Amino acid sequence: MSIFLFLVFGSVFAFTFGVAFLSSVPQEKIETEQEMMEKFLKKRIFDENLTQREKWFLISRGFTIATYHYTTSPEFFELENFVNMLDGQLIVERIKSKERKLELVSARNSVVIENLTKENLFNALCRVLYYPPPDCS
């Protein structure tokens, strides 16, 4: 009988403690798919890391994610020009890093560019974009 009471009261105590503890932990804001789509239609260049959920969302909808690792300045005008030219296919996340490189990821392919020239960027985009521009041959 005492074991039964111990189990009942122990379970109640554990449940109460768990609920109180979990409710005090800050919850990450979960965006709906509609909210994410609106976010990425309004803005294409981000100075923060995208979440894994956001990346999966974008890739599954035909977007290409360009993760630009920069050392001193986040400006990369050739990349920003392509963002404007490609009609919303390219989403950029800029991350301060010890090395300068660009990672392109889409449902079609993924490429890492370390020699960041306009020609290398264009050739990589041709290999990665879900809908490459007509100039890609």
What's the maximum distance between 2 C-alpha atoms anywhere in the chain? Answer: 81
Measure the N-to-C terminal CA separation of the chain; round to a whole number of Å: 80
pLDDT averaged over every residue in the chain: 82
CB 14 within 8 A of CB 6: no
- CA angle centred on 30, ends 26 and 35, rounded to 5°: 145
Query: What pLDDT does residue 19 have?
Result: 42
CB 104 within 8 A of CB 65: yes
Tokens of 18: 């768990």
Domain boundaries, the chain: 33-128
Q: How far from 115 is each of 1, 99, 128, CA to CA, in Å?
A: 74, 11, 17
Q: What is the percentage of the chain residues whose pLDDT exceeds 70?
A: 78
Query: What pLDDT does residue 48 have?
Result: 87
pLDDT in tens, 66-106: 999 998 888 888 888 899 888 889 999 999 999 999 999 99
Which pTM does this prediction carry?
Answer: 0.75
Residues facing 105 on adjacent strands: 65, 110
Given this structure, which CATH class describes domain 33-128? Answer: alpha beta
